[in-house]
Amino acid sequence: MRFSTAILGVIGLASLAGCSSASGPYGGGTGGGQGGGGPAGTVTLGPGIQFVSAHNGSQNPAVDTIPVRGSITWTWTGSLPHSVQSTGSTSFTSSGTKTGSGTYAVTFTAPGTYHYDCAVHGSAMTGTIVVH
């Protein structure tokens, strides 16, 4: 008697679409020193209790990655009061609390990871900016 065993090695190449920058490593890589007038990020406040990144749709935290000398513009929507309040050790100038419409822009000249929240809603409403 002979037993022949056929082993079918099925190799599944799971191609993970690496598109989710919201959960990617923030390794502040080697900045390439891109020229002035760099890309800008835009973040919406509201209409609920949320910061939403226009770049990748992430929210609470809204995560944006920009080059050094890039800028972020926050735009208020909805009827709730919100603010952009820098938290953490690497900081930037916070905005005041606004309601309704309005914008606030900051240009980041130093690499680092900047955390912020809303002075009204605190940890329920957060964002992160990675400058590299």
Question: Phi then psi for 23, rounded to 5 degrees?
Answer: -115, 10
Cβ at position 55, least distance to Cu ion in Å: 20
**Cβ neighbours of residue 81 under 8 Å, at least 6 residues apart?**
97, 98, 99, 120
Q: Which 8-state DSSP code applies to residue 96?
A: P
Q: Which stretch, 24-32, 62-70, 95-103, 110-118, contacts Cu ion (CB under 5 A)?
A: 110-118
Q: Which stretch, 12-20, 58-66, 86-94, 112-120, contacts Cu ion (CB under 5 A)?
A: 112-120
Give me the residue label for tokens 């799971």. Answer: 14
Please give the radius of gyration of the chain, using alpha carbons only, rounded to the nearest integer. 21
Q: Out of 72, 118, 129, 131, name the contact with Cu ion by CB under 5 A.
A: 118
Nearer to Cu ion, 31 or 47 (CB): 47
Task: Lay out the site mask for Cu ion across 32-71 (x = CB under 5 A, - = otherwise).
Answer: ----------------------------------------
Q: Which of residues 73-102 bind Cu ion (CB under 5 A)?
A: 82
The b/e string for 32-67 (b: 16+ C-beta within 10 A; e otherwise) is eeeeeeeeebbbbbbeebbbbbebbebbbbbbbbbb
Q: Out of 70, 108, 121, 132, name the contact with Cu ion by CB under 5 A.
A: 121
Nearer to Cu ion, 106 or 125 (CB): 125
Residues in contact with Cu ion by the rule CB under 5 A: 82, 118, 120-121, 125
